[in-house]
Chain A
């Protein structure tokens, strides 16, 4: 993306603007940040259901008779863990240093066909990264399908009931990270039991031509609140899901980030040897949740110091948790200060606030 390229618009852009959503640039897209209130939207997802336009997310397709073998040497997680069509998995693109180039969800679609849902800011990077690492001996093609898909997330305790009532799609008994095609009378929808809020619910992939129709049908239900990217960020932070480009980057370790579960030992992917060694010997720095003791809101970039004033790390994401009404953060800390219960200070523009390392997710404290 060049600096002066116009912002991209999702098929729902006009609908967002028409209902007064506050729009702002995000990863090259003009996206709804909030509709009415970040806190209101956040709490609606925790108590009922919220719908998010996430059509900015990218989709890459890998196909070919060797697609699985080829992809299995590029992605950190093991495709053998999702042996059947209709299964999906959280996985990483790692580099030779064990850093994270992107995090994504891979869907096993049908024989020799995989769909990768990647971060909006990384679509072109991921396409180039994967293409460069597919060994020429394999029969596999990779293609950017981002323009062929719209995507929305329906999240919250009522989300799957709404899906069933409004679209007659029953996903109640489906485990997380499963997907299936459903016909609604409008079109075929690819419904996946995934999300980025810590609630139950689904993400729905579809032809952009039907996106507005589906969005309106779901939004019209009184249990559903339209939610912007600001609430998506506070929700994912309460759930302790890292955000690529902020909490996890090409220079942060997947093991230190707590994502070792998505990098099984003994595999062959970029940086696997280093990550296996770090798993055995321990990470020098770790990404941990911090809960503030009282007032104050930590923000990305704030320094974290030990009780005796030594800098031990820094905050990569921070906000006021709408659920807890307390400041929360994800921070990279020296291993010596990353143990649960460790008390630290966060320097917020010159004020030192007490915080402690807690276990994931933050919502367990509500």
Chain B
């Protein structure tokens, strides 16, 4: 998608990751701003299913043609799924950064969600 979009139903982390929370499952991806900054995404190095990840820590890597970027976990928990479609076709992240989710986790601390930003607040940080 060519126009900046930040869906209201998502929670946002300052490292330009989004999280969709559904019960105790959270789905992660990167924001429109992040994919635009990276440029053409050509490689997704995902974590193993079952890996335990911590908020603020790196859970994998996305690479564009020119640069490598660590993926920062917006929430803590255990990885329950990896989006193999993005592993196979990393360009999906550029085409639709919200459809192209990266991993799902089972959250270990729901209170962490409160520390994330909503769409309005996040857009203020990237335009600051």
A interface residues with partner B (beta carbon < 8 Å): 22, 33-34, 37-40, 230, 233-234, 295-297, 299, 319-320, 322, 325, 349, 351
Q: Provide the bound-state CA to CA distance between A295 and B45, in Å.
A: 9
Q: Provide the bound-state CA to CA distance between A349 and B60, in Å.
A: 12
Q: Provide the bound-state CA to CA distance between A37 and B40, in Å.
A: 6
The answer to whether B40 and A297 have CB atoms under 8 Å apart is no
Q: Provide the bound-state CA to CA distance between A39 and B91, in Å.
A: 10
The answer to whether B65 and A295 have CB atoms under 8 Å apart is no
Q: Provide the bound-state CA to CA distance between A295 and B66, in Å.
A: 16
Closest to A231 in B: B65
Given A296-B43, A319-B66, 8 new contacts (CB under 8 A)? A37-B39, A38-B39, A39-B40, A39-B65, A230-B66, A322-B65, A325-B42, A349-B68
Q: Provide the bound-state CA to CA distance between A234 and B39, in Å.
A: 14
**B64 contacts the other chain (CB 8 A):** yes
Q: Provide the bound-state CA to CA distance between A230 and B42, in Å.
A: 14
B interface residues with partner A (beta carbon < 8 Å): 39-40, 42-43, 45, 61, 63-66, 68, 91, 94
User: A230: which B residues are within 8 A, CB to CB?
Assistant: 39, 65-66
User: B91: which A residues are within 8 A, CB to CB?
Assistant: 39
Q: Provide the bound-state CA to CA distance between A299 and B66, in Å.
A: 9
Partner of A297, one of B39, B63, B94: B63
Can you give 30 contacting A-B residue pairs, CB < 8 Å?
A22-B39, A34-B39, A37-B40, A37-B94, A38-B39, A38-B40, A38-B64, A38-B66, A39-B40, A39-B42, A39-B65, A40-B40, A230-B39, A230-B65, A230-B66, A233-B66, A234-B65, A295-B43, A295-B45, A297-B42, A297-B43, A297-B63, A297-B68, A299-B68, A320-B42, A320-B63, A320-B65, A325-B42, A349-B61, A349-B68
The answer to whether A38 and B43 have CB atoms under 8 Å apart is no
SS class of chain A's interface: helix, strand, loop or mixed? mixed
CB distance from A34 to the nearest CB of B (A): 6
CB distance from A113 to the nearest CB of B (A): 39
Q: Provide the bound-state CA to CA distance between A236 and B119, in Å.
A: 41
User: B40: which A residues are within 8 A, CB to CB?
Assistant: 37-40
User: A34: which B residues are within 8 A, CB to CB?
Assistant: 39
Q: Provide the bound-state CA to CA distance between A153 and B50, in Å.
A: 51
Q: Provide the bound-state CA to CA distance between A295 and B89, in Å.
A: 12
User: A325: which B residues are within 8 A, CB to CB?
Assistant: 42
CB distance from A44 to the nearest CB of B (A): 13
Q: Provide the bound-state CA to CA distance between A86 and B39, in Å.
A: 40
- Chain A to chain B: the 5 pairs with minimum beta-carbon distance, closest first: A320-B42, A38-B65, A39-B40, A38-B40, A297-B63
User: A33: which B residues are within 8 A, CB to CB?
Assistant: 66
Closest to B42 in A: A320
User: B45: which A residues are within 8 A, CB to CB?
Assistant: 295, 351
Closest to A33 in B: B66
User: B61: which A residues are within 8 A, CB to CB?
Assistant: 349
User: A37: which B residues are within 8 A, CB to CB?
Assistant: 39-40, 94
Closest to A320 in B: B42
User: B65: which A residues are within 8 A, CB to CB?
Assistant: 38-39, 230, 234, 319-320, 322
CB distance from B4 to the nearest CB of A (A): 14
Closest to B63 in A: A297
User: B66: which A residues are within 8 A, CB to CB?
Assistant: 33, 38, 230, 233, 319
Q: Provide the bound-state CA to CA distance between A22 and B65, in Å.
A: 14
CB distance from A351 to the nearest CB of B (A): 8
CB distance from A320 to the nearest CB of B (A): 4
CB distance from B57 to the nearest CB of A (A): 15
Q: Provide the bound-state CA to CA distance between A296 and B63, in Å.
A: 9
CB distance from B75 to the nearest CB of A (A): 24
CB distance from B110 to the nearest CB of A (A): 32
Closest to A295 in B: B43
User: A22: which B residues are within 8 A, CB to CB?
Assistant: 39
Q: Provide the bound-state CA to CA distance between A228 and B61, in Å.
A: 25
CB distance from A326 to the nearest CB of B (A): 10
